[in-house]
Amino acid sequence: GGSSAGLFESNMYLAEDRILCFELVTKRNCHWILQYVKSATGETDVPDTVTELVLQRRRWLNGSFFAAIYAIAHFYEFFRSDHSFFRKVAFFVEFVFNTINMVFAWFAIGNFFLVFKILTTSLGSDDLLGRTGEILGVVFTWLYGVFLMTCFVLSMGNRPAGSGRLYTAMVWFWAIIMIYLMFAAIFIAVKAIIKDVNSGTAFSISQLFKNPVFYTLIISVMSTFGIWLIASIIMFDPWHMVTSFIQYMLLTPTYTNVLNVYAFCNTHDVSWGTKGDDKVEKLPSVNTKDGQGKTDLPDEGDLNAQYQREVEKFSTKFKEVKTPPTAAQLQEKQMDYYRGVRTGVVLIWMITNFALAALVLSSAGLERITPGGGNQQQEAINRSNIYMTIVLWSVAVLSGFKFLGAMWFLVVRMFRGV
């Protein structure tokens, strides 16, 4: 965006390719379409360090987030185009899909904490890890809060280049958290299977899938990782699942709790953030040399005349001369506006995610004002189970929709030969 652009437009145009595509497809009285070319290749400048990754993803996340908001808010522009009725229906379905994705992206940090809290708390049950699980849950919860607060503090003022070691430490910590979560999910699923096997009744696969804990976890895992693997094999490009699967699994919490936090806390920064674009230009130098000079000394008459002129200035009324603000002052004023909007966005984001966590866990005082009698602990467990079921099944449905889109592309490519 230009120097007078608002914060929304400035961030939106960090993803100018998406805006261009949206405007092309929705052009009035036209029916332009975009076609993905699978045979095309490209090269990207891969970040070498954690700090470079943080800077790069800040631009990408903010640009894609604000561009997605723009597309969702202007979805009605599809209907002014000359596309066919069925294509407009498909665009509307995609609009609904993008809206749901946007909601999940907004609540990603709250959802991840809730999944972490529910799984680690479940490990404290007597039939799982017992007292050991309770202690580990408390320790990891405290560490979770400390590292998340550290990330917010670093993101609000420190440059990533000056906090490289702290960011690296956070990446390792969140990788450990992910390992513990994967262990918790697998351990709980295995215990559910063992419990069904030892129940005394004839064990069968159909009976196993009647266990809500097992089928919810299995379906959510298979709908993401399984679908990724199947789609990669169908596309004849499965090697990244072999070479990079584990690394990206361990980086998942970093993308949510480090990169997302830094991106939202730096919405006022609308620079590209790529390599070489965050360096301050070298100041010009001044050349000096030794030498001799001449000056005229004033006599008594000159001093008297100067004195009279100064007296006349004191006798006249002062008139304030209003000078227009300089470019630096205007830029600083714009940055103050950007920072103010940034603060509002971060506050709303933090409050809504905190409210979600408090509502699901019935904590932060909500347990005292929520209606209902009986066992409050059992009600909290039921609420957590319902939440986990909704989140995991939503992930399954969204992944399935993406898989259908990938298969549809193969069908279209078969006939069009793109």
My answer on whether 253 and 343 are in the same domain is: yes
My answer on whether 166 and 30 are in the same domain is: no
Range of the domain at 200: 108-206+242-277+327-394
My answer on whether 122 and 247 are in the same domain is: yes
Direct distance between the N- and C-terminal alpha carbons of the chain, in angstroms, rounded to an integer: 34
My answer on whether 27 and 165 are in the same domain is: no
Classify residue 223 by its DSSP letter: I
> Using 50, 70 and 90 to split pLDDT, how confident is the model at 147?
very high
Residue 39, token pair as written in the block = 């045979």
Residue 365 backbone zone (phi > 0: left; psi -120 to 50: alpha; other: beta)? left
CA 268 remoteness from chain centre: 15
My answer on whether 113 and 261 are in the same domain is: yes
In a domain, 213, yes or no: no
Give the span between the Cα atoms of 239 and 229, in whole angstroms.
10
Cα-based angle 184, 185, 190 (whole degrees, multiple of 5): 95
In this prediction, residue 302 carries a pLDDT of: 67
Q: What is the mean pLDDT of residues 294-299?
A: 63
My answer on whether 70 and 156 are in the same domain is: no
My answer on whether 81 and 31 are in the same domain is: yes
In a domain, 390, yes or no: yes
Per-residue pLDDT tens for 52-92? 888 888 888 888 888 888 888 888 888 888 888 898 898 89
My answer on whether 155 and 182 are in the same domain is: yes
Q: How many domains does the chain have?
A: 2
My answer on whether 139 and 190 are in the same domain is: yes
Q: At 371, is the secondary structure helix, strand, or coil?
A: coil
Q: What is the mean pLDDT of residues 380-403?
A: 81
Residue 385, token pair as written in the block = 């189970």
In a domain, 376, yes or no: yes
Q: What is the mean pLDDT of residues 138-145?
A: 91
> Highest mean pLDDT range out of 2-11, 94-103, 119-128, 223-232?
94-103
Q: What is the mean pLDDT of residues 165-174?
A: 91
Q: What is the mean pLDDT of residues 373-383?
A: 62
In a domain, 78, yes or no: yes
What letter represents residue 3's amino acid? S
In this prediction, residue 370 carries a pLDDT of: 45
Place of tokens 């998406």: 18
In a domain, 384, yes or no: yes
Give the span between the Cα atoms of 8 and 310, in whole angstroms.
53
Length of the chain as a residue count: 418
Give the span between the Cα atoms of 22 and 7, in whole angstroms.
20
Which distant-in-sequence residues (6+ apart) come within 8 Å of 269 by Cβ?
58
In a domain, 90, yes or no: yes
My answer on whether 254 and 373 are in the same domain is: yes
Cα-based angle 144, 149, 152 (whole degrees, multiple of 5): 130
228, containing H or E segment: helix 227-234
The mean pLDDT value of the chain amounts to 79
In a domain, 271, yes or no: yes
Q: What is the mean pLDDT of residues 85-108?
A: 90
- The secondary structure of 332-370 as a DSSP string is HHHHHHHHHHHHHHHHHHHHHHHHHHHHHHT-TTHHHHS
In this prediction, residue 210 carries a pLDDT of: 62
Residue 355, token pair as written in the block = 């409210």
Residue 273 backbone zone (phi > 0: left; psi -120 to 50: alpha; other: beta)? left
My answer on whether 30 and 179 are in the same domain is: no
20, containing H or E segment: helix 16-25
My answer on whether 199 and 97 are in the same domain is: no
Query: In this structure, are residues 62 and 267 in contact, taking their beta carbons and an 8 Å threshold?
Result: yes
Residue ending a domain, choose from 85, 106, 127: 106
Q: What is the mean pLDDT of residues 238-246?
A: 82
> Using 50, 70 and 90 to split pLDDT, how confident is the model at 325?
confident
For 288, list phi and psi in degrees, rounded to 5: -125, 160
In a domain, 292, yes or no: no
Per-residue pLDDT tens for 189-204? 777 777 767 766 655 6
